[in-house]
Amino acid sequence: MIATTNQIEVHKVKESRIPQVDWDNLGFGTVFSDHMFVVEYRDGAWQKPEIKPYGTIAFSPAISALHYGQAIFEGLKAFRNDKGEIRVFRPERNAARLNKSAKRLSMPEYPVESFVDAIQQLVELDQEWVPNGAGQALYIRPHMFAIDEYVGVRPSQSYMFVMFTCPVGKYYTGEVKVKVEREYTRAARGGAGNAKAAGNYGAALMASAQAQQDGYNQLLWTDSSTHEFIEESGTMNVIFRKGNTLFTPAVSDSILDGVTRESVLQIAKDWGYIVEERKVSVVEVIEAIKNNELDEAFGAGTAATIAPIRVINYEGNDFTLRPYTEWEFAPKISDYLDQLKRGLQEDTHQWNKRVV
Ligand code: COI
């Protein structure tokens, strides 16, 4: 069936795959909803966007994204409540960051309003795919990549921008153990660490896999020149609490400005906490754990939301924080954000976009 809604041509599936979904075992990123949004950039302009059945796309093996890594992505989520209402959390913020990443990788920007409108239409069409179980959401994955069939190195002249969605469960199911990485680095000064570039994730895989073999969920990445200052944890920003103060590495050209990070820090300020965005040294954190002064440490990201860090391994030793049941902030912000995103808390900052 073909329909045109607000300039997006919509081709619907003949039959939904919904009956095949095992809603109690969604995992993360393995189940894909019925439709996807696709638009191409050619001859200096974005072409006609389409929503069509989710499926494979054929490409030449020469497309430049595959060779030179002009590929960027975003992650955001849609939430359902018991009344059947559906909201997407801060889509304008992800649209703006996509454009920041695009600029860094010499790719074209996509208009913020068109990004938000595409999400509205895609999620509305696939609204039955938005789960509402505890910890569940519809993960939306916008991504843009270079499709010039050309092997010379230059910014591609053509691109594809695609968004598909996945009903997901929790990314991490419990407390997280991390290992301080002092040899490899996620991003260097002057690099593209603050862009959500596919290559940043690929380059992090080897060291992360090594940490997992050693029994840790993720790495605590440190700065590239001294390895003394904390940057991120795995694919998340990292936040610490000591008493009434939350402190976190300040964003820089090697640290991603996470939407969850920014939201958590804003709410913490609303609640009267002191928030410090600054350099955070590994030694400061380890000493604070040793002196029983570090109250909490957690990762903040779209996929995981809040991931409590219980163990930090540094130079071969595990340093353990007190049990999560004794923590004050992470459980509270975790519940608050969940309720806010489902429309069950007053949306004081007008972060939600109501879709249904
Ligand atoms: C997100 O939290 O959306 C991320 O970027 C993590 C993702 C790579 C799974």
Q: What is the pLDDT of residues 296-331, one digit of tens each?
A: 999 999 999 999 999 999 999 999 999 999 999 999
Query: How far does residue 204's CA lie from ligand 1's centre (Å)?
Result: 13
- Residue 352 belongs to some domain of the structure: no
Range of the domain at 188: 176-341
**Which atom of ligand 1 is nearest the CA belonging to 75?**
3
Instruction: Name which of 164, 194, 42, 199 is nearest 108 in CA terms.
Output: 42
Are 154 and 287 within one domain? no
Are 79 and 204 within one domain? no
Whether 222 contacts 180, CB under 8 Å: yes
The span from the CA of 201 to the CA of 281, in Å, is 23
Single out the residue in 170, 203, 224 at which a domain terminates.
170
Longest C-alpha distance within the chain, in Å?
Answer: 65
Q: Give the pair of three-digit tokens for residue 103.
A: 């600029």
Query: How far does residue 161's CA lie from ligand 1's centre (Å)?
Result: 18
The span from the CA of 158 to the CA of 131, in Å, is 35
Is the pLDDT assigned to residue 2 strictly greater than 90?
no
Single out the residue in 118, 153, 170 at which a domain terminates.
170
- pLDDT (mean) for 21-48: 97
pTM: 0.96
Are 200 and 245 within one domain? yes
Are 36 and 140 within one domain? yes
**Which atom of ligand 1 is nearest the CA belonging to 236?**
2
Q: How confident is the model at residue 171 (pLDDT cuts 50, 70, 90)?
A: confident
Got the DSSP string for 289-339?
A: HHTT---EEEEEETTTEEEEEEEEEETTEEEEPPPGGG-SHHHHHHHHHHH
Are 69 and 121 within one domain? yes
Q: Give the pair of three-digit tokens for residue 337.
A: 């954000």
| Average pLDDT in the chain | 96
**Per-residue pLDDT tens over the stretch 70-110:** 999 999 999 999 999 999 999 999 999 999 999 999 999 99
What is each CA distance from 209 to 67, 198, 218, in whole angstroms? 23, 17, 8
The span from the CA of 172 to the CA of 294, in Å, is 22
CB-based pocket (< 6 A), ligand 1: 75, 235, 301-303
Q: What is the number of structural domains in the chain?
A: 2
- Residue 53 belongs to some domain of the structure: yes
- Residue 354 belongs to some domain of the structure: no
- Residue 347 belongs to some domain of the structure: no
In Å, how far from its chain's centre is CA 139?
Answer: 9
**Which atom of ligand 1 is nearest the CA belonging to 139?**
3
Q: How confident is the model at residue 196 (pLDDT cuts 50, 70, 90)?
A: very high
The span from the CA of 3 to the CA of 9, in Å, is 6
The span from the CA of 356 to the CA of 127, in Å, is 8
Looking at residue 173, its pLDDT comes to 79
